[in-house]
Amino acid sequence: MLNRVTLVGRLTRDPELRRTQSGVAVTNFTIAVDNRFSRDQERTASFFNVVCWNQTAENVAKFMKKGSLVGVDGRLEQRSYDRRDGSRGQVIEVIADQVVFLEPKNAGEETGGYEPDEQGYQEETPTEDDLPF
């Protein structure tokens, strides 16, 4: 069995960093991914909720913002919850194992950008050969 997803898209809103009761960092964000389309169709997008944990969560919250271009590698997870009206709801999220920042540092003014940290996130725009997926 395989549960793996790889997406490239732009953040639709600023990431939200929270901490669990035990102090573990968790960040939620949504990315918009362009759908393939033929010339006579309107461009459409799909929206995916993404959750990341620990150092990845802290880096995303610190360096990314609405409009940032990212690559997300992870797995799908489905969970249930109780709605206020008493009914059960379900949500499918991407649990990110890795979030790759796909824009150069100087793109920050227009689309989000980032500042590299001590772990050495790359500052150059990656080429197709550099992408991990």
DSSP SS3 for 128? helix
HSE-CB at 67 with a 13 A cutoff on CA atoms is: 8
HSE-CB at 3 with a 13 A cutoff on CA atoms is: 10
Name the DSSP letter for residue 125. P
Question: What is the mean predicted confidence (pLDDT) over 27-38?
Answer: 88
pTM listed for this prediction: 0.72
**Would you say residue 10 has pLDDT above 70?**
yes
Residue-range domains of the chain with CATH: 5-36+43-130 (2.40.50.140)
pLDDT tens per residue across span 87-128: 999 999 999 999 999 987 655 454 444 444 443 333 344 444
Q: What percent of the chain has pLDDT over 90?
A: 65
